[in-house]
Copies of this chain bind each other. A is one copy, B any other.
Amino acid sequence: MLFLVRMDVHLPTDMPPEQANEIKDREKTYSQPLQRDGRWRHIWRIVGEYSNFSLFDVSSNDELHGLLTGLPLFPYMDIAVTPLAHHPSDIT
């Protein structure tokens, strides 16, 4: 079941760089197994913004919520979730 997720990151500008880097490293580490097992199917940077659009493939709303709130950057992000369905023109 697919969901498009937009994440906008707002780190405080006075956060020490080493702390910011530590969180970003954990974020990257956190995302990798999810990308590998197919649940985090795509992640794209939005040009010019500290934001991304991501495509998730999960089996329930609860699973998606668990994945998102587990993100190390979660306390610093605005997240918007759009549930997706099969499109009748889709040939895949």
Report A46 CB to chain B, min CB distance, Å. 6
Give Cα A79–Cα B85 distance, bound, in whole angstroms. Answer: 15
Central interface residue in A1, A4, A84, by most chain B CB within 10 Å = A84
Q: How large is the interface on A (under 10, 10 to 19, 20 to 34, 35 or more residues)?
A: 35 or more
Report A34 CB to chain B, min CB distance, Å. 10
Residues in A lying within 8 Å of B, measured CB to CB: 1-5, 11-14, 27-28, 31-32, 35-36, 42-50, 52-53, 60-62, 64-65, 68-69, 75-76, 79-92
| 29 CB-based A-B contacts, threshold 8 Å | A2-B44, A5-B48, A13-B76, A31-B91, A32-B89, A35-B89, A35-B90, A43-B87, A43-B90, A44-B87, A44-B90, A45-B65, A45-B86, A45-B88, A46-B85, A47-B61, A47-B64, A47-B81, A48-B64, A48-B69, A48-B79, A48-B80, A49-B79, A49-B81, A61-B84, A61-B85, A64-B83, A65-B85, A81-B83
